[in-house]
Amino acid sequence: MSNSNQSDVVCVTGGSGCIGSWLVRLLLDRRYTVHATVKNLNDDKETEHLRALEGADTRLRLFQIDLLDYDSIFAAVSGCVGVFHLASPCIVDRVLDPQKELLDPAIKGTINVLTAAKAAGVRRVVVTSSVSAITPSPHWPADKVKAEDCWTDVEYCKQKELWYPLSKTLAEKAAWDFSKENGLDVVVVNPGTVMGPVIPPTLNASMLMLVRRLQGCTETYEDFFMGSIHFKDVALAHILVYENPSASGRHLCVEAISHYGDFAAKVAELYPEYNLPRLPRDTQPGLLRAKDGGKKLMDMGLQFIPMEEIIKDSVESLKSKGFIS
């Protein structure tokens, strides 16, 4: 993988989202030419912030895709040497039709992207999975840290109707199966709760979780939290595993493995003026804390931004954009 090579054209699916925008920004900073995909080219909320990025005028092309429309994906991937597949619906609550809203776009969309990448002669695909493909895993040994070898319990998700973790788990498994059967070079990043300065005009589910906390919400997200991570670090992790030829397998991407109770307490400590209700510290049953949860990425040189800074950057961004006062 050539670093900072102007002739390298890469595709970022889901380029307009909170993580996608950061990734596009850092790739442009590194002189890559980027094909970024959006759902609707006529929606300024998806395109304006991308076109405003430095280098976008000469090295960014926007493509409208539908994850279930192979031809639209192939057009975006064509001519690229690398693909970052981020696009996947993230609906954590109120899912009316899980198959249509989450499972089909996540699983079939991933297969469509990988099929297009293979057909286009792409060298490496980085797939954005999630800690939601690692936990909830209630049968994992209580004395063992949950790392890349741990997988979310599919049956548990079905029983509890946890459609988002189910979609991320099945999509990642489908990616590994495809890679094995078709000889495509795939690496995976599994980010935790991703926050920080927001580039698009809309918020991701993780930032909405922080907004709810600042509004006094006492939910503890026991099936959805494993630690926090800065937008910039997630974007850097994607680039690291793309550019490092020896990178392989899954990469847990969290600043540290922690409980939502740790995060909630830090928010309350940093912002006493919000008078936030106290929560228990142990909110994720059976989750062992670990400072080096992202060890694979640390060994590649990624220095994670600590939780305190993640929270401060996030709250500052929420205030500046008028989401909180």
Active site residues: 168
User: Which CA distances in Å does 305 have to 10, 136, 230, 263, 322?
Assistant: 26, 25, 7, 14, 24
CB proximity list for 110: less than 8 A, separation 6 or greater: 85, 88, 127, 171, 172, 174, 175, 178
| Nearest-angstrom CA–CA distance, 106 and 172 | 9
Report which of 89, 75, 97 is spatially closest to residue 161, judged by C-alpha positions: 97
What 201-206 contacts at long range (C-beta under 8 Å, 24+ apart), as own/partner pairs, is: 201/45, 201/48, 201/49, 201/321, 202/18, 202/45, 203/18, 203/323, 204/17, 204/18, 204/19, 204/90, 205/90, 205/91, 205/92, 206/18
Find, among 235, 232, 56, 90, the residue nearest to 166 by Cα.
90
* Pairing mode of beta strands 186-191, 60-64: unpaired
Characterize the bridge pairing of strands 82-85 and 124-128: parallel
Give helix 260-270 / helix 205-214 axis angle, nearest 10°.
Answer: 50
Q: 14: which DSSP letter?
A: T
| DSSP structural state of residue 288 | P
Instruction: Centre a 10 Å sphere on the Cβ of residue 218 and count the other Cβ atoms it contains.
Output: 12
Return the residue matching tokens 């996540």. 106
Distance set, CA 104 to CA 67, 111, 188, 241, 306 (Å): 9, 10, 20, 27, 35
* Pairing assessment for the beta strands 33-38 and 9-13 based on DSSP bridges: parallel
Q: Phi and psi of 177, rounded to 5°?
A: -60, -45
